[in-house]
Each structure stands twice: as structure tokens, then as C-alpha cells.
Chains A and B, each alone.
Chain A
């Protein structure tokens, strides 16, 4: 198959890639761009470890082709912090210990962040539904739910001067 040139905007940086059209978005991000925060844990679109945001929506990046994301705004876990300042959801994960081995964490953060952008005040049930597609083998999820709830309650809101 003939290779194609596409432009992916990842974490605010534009990358021009010359790739096989069959390349998955997760492969483009990890193998071509070299951002390895996004992980893979299955071949069946079941584990959520590869979750990224396309625009403001959580997407399993193993379920879409890189060319489908051409020109869209992609955010990975590396793109959450700004100038060394962690995003509220990252701070909340630290405070609640919402990760252990950390392999699901990038995907979990992106599902959580997308949920909060769509619904800034989710109920506990909505939080659980929002991260249902992400498997975490370590934590038992409750600490993740606590972290998302803490952000929703405004614990990490910026103080406006």
C-alpha cells in the first residue's frame, strides 16, 4: 500500500508523518512520533491503556487509523501538564494514589479528563461509567473515582488573582 503524508497535531505540536495508511493512531503516536506515555495492553480494543483525547473526546487510539485523526487535535498524557505545572487531574491522581504500576494511568487520565470536560460535575456513577472502558489491575478503581470526584468538587481549581 502506498504511504501517505499526514499531519497529526499532538499536544499542540504538529507532526508531519509519512506512513502506511493502515497505521493505527497508537502506532503513529508511540512508534513514529515517539511519545511512549500512551500504552497498549491488548489487541481487542478492551483495555483502554491507549486512550487519548481527539479534540475533547476520549478515544482508544488502537481503534482508529492515524489518517482518521489527520488535522484533528490530539492530546496524550504528556500534554496535560503546562510548563511543568501539573493539570488538576494529575494532581488529584497523586493525592489519592490513583495509580500503582502506572501502565493504565495515561489512558485512565485521558478518560477522566474527557469525562470532566464533557460533564464537569459527574455523579459517582457517571465517573465509574466514564472510566468503565479502562482496565486497572492494581488499584480497584476507587482511588481513581475519588480523584475525579475531587477535581469535580473544585479542589484543584486555580485561584484567580
Chain B
């Protein structure tokens, strides 16, 4: 069904890129893995959140006295019980810290929390919500960025003229001159939809505050450290007095590293009541009040020469920011950068405007602005190739990034396998021969970052840190702050540690997801962990190994030109591998030699002098075979192939899982996952009406892994978790274009849009005759 090929494998490794089971696998397939959803503490109360029915309103008064009379209700909190701190994840910029999770003065979207109840059962807490009386003064509201930006639009946040929350400008080269060199210029407007993260585990937290003044929070998070810092900030606590525990996490996808209402309200209730409080969002709450992929309006203008050489591009983007900033400001930046990918432009200019509206806030989601950027870019490029009668693969190839290319002022490309990607996809297309009349293939290229360089969160700590401790029996403890949210980072780090130290994966125990015991790490977002935490882990393991080998050298009596190494738990001379001793024997000697101290290796990583965006970039080209019904407009995915350059693969099974999984989510963005709103209200906040890919709709997701070496990554690795969310929507759009000659400018593409476009086309064709 699926083909997985490694091109040119050359693997001197013992553990890396071998078939290693996920180290959390047995816990997950036996039902032993416990999530925040499953946490139960003695004396625990259940919390529920009362949410605003209005998109924009002043809170005049909240009376919860009747709710307090209900037997079993223990406490209610409102914004008045909080410090009123306006928080945000861009902590370096005060004006972008704009969200009180329990607002005091006004609400800005339907579903915004206004009060929270704690009761002895969830049922009683739910009932109590009906007895809280909130008096609102409704305000005029605005829902779309192109309306909210108008002069007479309602003001959502004081002092933000025309509701413009953030702007971003990116430019390089002489843009006007470069456009003058072009023989052909094309401009298009696009609309990119939102998308919900739809984590199987909804937002969840259990908070427990005790009289020592210490708060412990179990939560479903992508970054335990971020939540430790954010909670400390809003609650007036020292970071060291907040412990965040992230047990198994039921998915994240970019939606779980901002402060959410489950975490905040559970904490505020617990601090008021001195009892543990658990809050789990219902699926509906999760849909209407836990953020989404940023919807965008995209204008893009591209100039090329007759022979297909790219000259210049300019883009203007208006994003629907929703009510608050969150991580949406970063999506505004990254969409503008990745809209240039993976091509060389003599002149490039991007102006992005993030606009506040009275809808649920939009934020980062897997791909982080790039799926929108590619939806527009890769379709327009396909249309340009068609307009000029050029081969779309060769036109892309001649303009692509290559190893050593410098994106002016932005990035240096140290590894790039896109050229081989074109060959692989060409082979796949050629192998298919002639397709049935109702099918067509669409292509899309892209690239993605391996972790962000920016530190708008203002962390004083290294981006990633790791500690490797070697026990006397040869087992190894690895402490990292990386967060395993299902992508397999625990396994990836165990593999890197085992490879670097020369032991078996099963001898490495990974400790993560606990701020009391693990070093700070920015967490699982922006495809950063394999490269950044991977580098820290490798450094820590190599440090431990070096300390151990000092004891081995001391007794070996080797000529100084000969080296010792450790592989598979065997300490040996590289030149005479049969001569050596078991790892555990060396460990025992070293421990005694250190007066009983365990060997500890430390590692850390923060990118330096790597440009503006990321230390390394993945590349990929995807082909999707699509069937479209002419009568109904119904889309069916038949087959797909992705040629993919993630540098050196580390976690073989994890890599396949990431690529297949990203494809399914990306396909959903292309044609299924529609989030309609009416007057600020989401119309399909449930799993009956919000459509995602199901098992019967998922096509083969074939992968050809291109072998490259990234000098900045651990063992040459770069990202694989997120980039593949980027190309698919555009590839589906391009297949529809090749099937019917119609250009879809809005995603997700719904059947009625295809039917309407075909009608318009038929009428236009009639007109021509």
C-alpha cells in the first residue's frame, strides 16, 4: 500500500534510523498511558467555564450568588478574582500581551470565558453555570479583517487604529527593478480558511494549590516550561513555585502552548479554594474557544521571464487575527517568509497585517502560516507555467533554492535536496502512465524551518537543554524539557542519546514533561525539537561519554594516536574493536573513581548567527492524484507521493508517522476542514459537522526520503514534523486545475465551489463562441 524508500542509504549508525519502537508504545497500546484527562487527585473538584454568548460586549455585572446556593458548588471565580494581568506569548512586547483569560471589562468573542465554577461533580458544576447571571452591554462587532480594518469599524482593543494588531514587512533586493525585468506578471487574490487543531484530547488541566504557596498543574501542553512561566506571570507567583506536569499529551498541533482557560481557571479556582480542580473542555468548547489556524486574505503578484526565470514577487496579506494576539503574530511573520519558498527571487516584498476581529483568536497550527502561503504561491506558479506553456516541474527546478544559497538578509541554506525531489516526483508521474479522464495530478513544492531563532517569549534559558546521568548498572537517565505530544520526541531523544553514548535504546530512560525535574526547553513547536533538543541531547551524551572514556584511556596504555569508542555497550579501541570491555564495567570504575558520584553530562543549544528565521530548512515536493466528480464536485484522493528532504533521518518509524499524519491533516485543510462562522458564531462546532479525513478517505502516502546532511543538525538531521502540512492544499488545487482548467482561490475547496466554477467556465466558454 505505502512505499517507503531511502535514496542512497549510507548508515554507519547502530541505533539511528533503525526500526526502533516508540518508547512510550507499550503504555499506549495497553491503556496504561495516563493523560491529564485521566488524572484524579484526592479531594479533587470539577470546574466548568461560563462563556460569553456575545461576540463583543461590556461586562456590566456578574452575580453568582444563586449558583453558590446549589449543594455541591464550592466556589465561583470571575475576572475580579484575578490580578487582571494581560498576558500573551510575545512577552517582549507589552502591547501584544492583550488577553485576560477571564476578562474584567469586556468580552471580544463568542465563547470567551467570563466565570468558572468548582463543584464536587462535573454535573453540578455544569448545572451551576445556568445560575450565574451576567449582565452584558452589547457592542457592535466586526468579524472579517477587511471589514474590521475600515475606519468606522468597532474598536476591539483600545488604541489599535483600524484594529491593526501587528504588521510585518519583509523585503530584499530591488523589487521594482526586478519586476521591470519580467516579461509576464500575474496577480491573484486568495482566501485561506481557518482549521481547527482538533486534538483528540481537548484542553485539559488539573491544578492544585497548597498552603506552602506552591502550585502544581497537570496539563495537556506542548511546552511545560512555557506554561510554568505564563502561569507564574498571571498568578503573581515565582516560576520556581509553579510546577507543570505534562503526562501523556493527546495531540497538540500548534494549539497547546499558549495559556488556555482550562489551565488558568483551574489554577485561579484552586488558589481560591486550596483544593485540586480539574477542568476538561467539551469538544464544543474546544472548537469555539481554543483557537485555530489563521484565516488569511492573500494578494500575490509575481513577475517572471518568458523562459520561466522568477524575477520578483510582492504579497499583501490580511489575516483574521480574532480577538487576541497569542502566537498569531508569529504566523503573520512566517507566512510572509515561506511565501518565498523554496525559490530564489531577485526582489521580494511582503506586507502582512494581522487584524483584530470579534471571532475566536487565531494562532499557530502545524505549518505555522506556510500552508496558507503555499496554497497561494504554488497554485499561482502552476498557473504561470500554464500561461507561458512551460513545464511546471522544470520551471520550479530552475528557480529553486540550492545548497549554499543565501536568502538575502534572512537565511543561509546549508542543505537542500529539492533538486532530487523533482526527479523522484517526475519518476512517480511517469510511472502512472495515462490517467482515467476524471483524474488529474497536482504538484506542490515547499520547505520549512527546523525551529525558530526568535525569542519573543523572552526566555532567559538556552532554547534546549539536556542532562545525561549514567547509573552504576549502566542504565542511563536522560532529562530533557522537550515535550512528547505524540510526535515521538522521547523516542527520538532516546535514540540520539543511545547512539552518542554507545548504549542500547532500552537502557535509556527519558524524563520529560515536568518542570521540577527537567531543564527548561521551549517545547514542541516550530519543528524545533529534533534539531535543538537533539543537539543538546547529543552534547550531553557525548560529554558523559568523554568523562567515561577518560577512565578507559587511563588504564588502556594506548599510543596517543589510537582512539577508544563505545558502541552497543562495548568499550573498545577503534582499530581493534574485538579488544575491549563491557560498558557497565567502565561505568563501575568511573563511578568509584569519582568517589561515588554518578557521571553526568550536560548539553544545551541556542542558535547563533543563523539568520532571522531558523538554523536549517527541510524541502519537499508532493504529487497528489485526485478524482473529481463533474456533477457533484466531490473530491477523492487516489494516491500521493512526497519526495522529502529532512537531512539524516533519526527515528525511522516516527518519521513515517509524521509524514503520513501531516499529509492527512494537510489534505483536510485542502478540501474538508471548513469552519463557517455567522455573526461570530462557529456553525459546526462538533465532530458530526466538522469533517476530517477518515480511514476510508486516506490515500497511500508514499514517501521518497532524499539523503542530505544538515551541518547544524544532530547527525545531520532537520525537521520532519510540520513541513509536510504545507504543500497538500495547493497540490489538490493544482489537480483540480489540470482536471477542469478552473482556478480555485479559496480553501478548503468545497464541492459547491467546484460546481459553481464549472458553471461559470461553461458560461464563459459559451460567450467566447
**Interface on A for B, CB 8 Å cutoff?**
30, 35-44, 46-47, 49, 76-78, 80-81, 86, 90, 93-97, 99-106, 109, 124-125, 127-129, 131-132, 134-146, 149
Contact = CB atoms under 8 A, between A and B. Distances in A.
Interface stretch (B195-203, B375-383, B545-553): B195-203
**For A90, A134, A139, A149, which residue has the most chain B Cβ atoms within 10 angstroms?**
A139
A39 B664 contact: no
Contact of A100 (B19, B488, B692, B696): B488
Interface string B683-726: 00011100011111010110000000000000000000000000
A109 B253 CA distance: 23
A145 B2 CA distance: 10
Contact of B660 (A76, A90, A106, A140): A140
A102 B656 contact: no
A142 B659 CA distance: 11
B200 A41 contact: yes
A105 B29 contact: yes
Nearest to B485: A101
Interface string B26-40: 111111111101100
B660 A94 contact: no
B26 to A, nearest CB: 7
Interface string B641-682: 000000000000110110011111100000000000000000
Contact of A129 (B32, B653, B696): B696
Contacts of A131: 695
Task: Choose among B202, B696, B700 the residue with the greatest number of A CB atoms under 10 Å from its CB.
Answer: B696
Given A39-B200, A78-B30, A129-B695, 15 more contacts: A38-B31, A42-B686, A44-B283, A47-B200, A99-B29, A101-B248, A102-B27, A103-B201, A103-B250, A103-B486, A127-B695, A137-B692, A143-B656, A145-B695, A146-B2
B25 A103 contact: no
Contacts of A134: 695
Given A43-B282, A77-B30, A128-B695, A135 B200 contact: yes
A101 B251 contact: yes
Nearest to A49: B200
Contact of B26 (A38, A40, A86): A86
Given A41-B283, A95-B21, A142-B660, A102 B28 contact: yes
A139 B25 contact: no
B478 interface: no
Number of chain B interface residues as a range: 35 or more
B565 interface: no
Contact of A140 (B26, B250, B661): B661
Give chain B's interface secondary structure class.
loop
B251 A103 contact: yes
Contacts of A94: 21-22, 25-26, 29
Contacts of A141: 664, 693-695, 698
A134 B251 CA distance: 15
Given A47-B687, A142-B660, A35 B31 contact: yes
A131 B698 CA distance: 12
Nearest to B491: A97
Interface string B474-486: 0000000000011
Interface string B1-32: 11000000000000000010110111111111
Interface string B176-212: 0000000000000000000000111110000000000
B696 A138 contact: no
A102 B24 contact: yes
Contact of B31 (A76, A96, A129): A76
Which of A38, A100, A128, A143 has most B Cβ within 10 Å?
A100
Contact of A138 (B25, B29, B251, B700): B251
Given A43-B282, A101-B249, A137 B199 contact: yes
Interface hub of B19, B653, B661 (most chain A Cβ within 10 A) = B661
B487 interface: yes
18 contacts: A35-B31, A41-B201, A41-B283, A43-B686, A47-B283, A80-B30, A93-B29, A96-B653, A97-B653, A99-B486, A105-B28, A125-B696, A127-B695, A135-B692, A137-B253, A140-B662, A140-B693, A145-B695
Interface string B72-107: 000000000000000000000000000000000000
6 A-B pairs with the lowest CB-CB distances in the bound complex, closest first: A37-B31, A101-B486, A103-B250, A140-B664, A102-B28, A46-B687
A124 B698 CA distance: 12
B284 interface: yes
Contacts of B38: 30, 36
B657 A100 contact: yes
B695 A77 contact: no
B34 A86 contact: no
B22 A42 contact: no
Q: Which of A76, A78, A142, A149 is packed against the most chain B CB atoms within 10 Å?
A: A142
Given A41-B283, A103-B251, A143-B657, A77 B22 contact: no
Contacts of B653: 96-97
Contacts of A144: 695
A81 B486 CA distance: 22
A81 B665 CA distance: 32
Nearest to B700: A142
B253 A86 contact: no
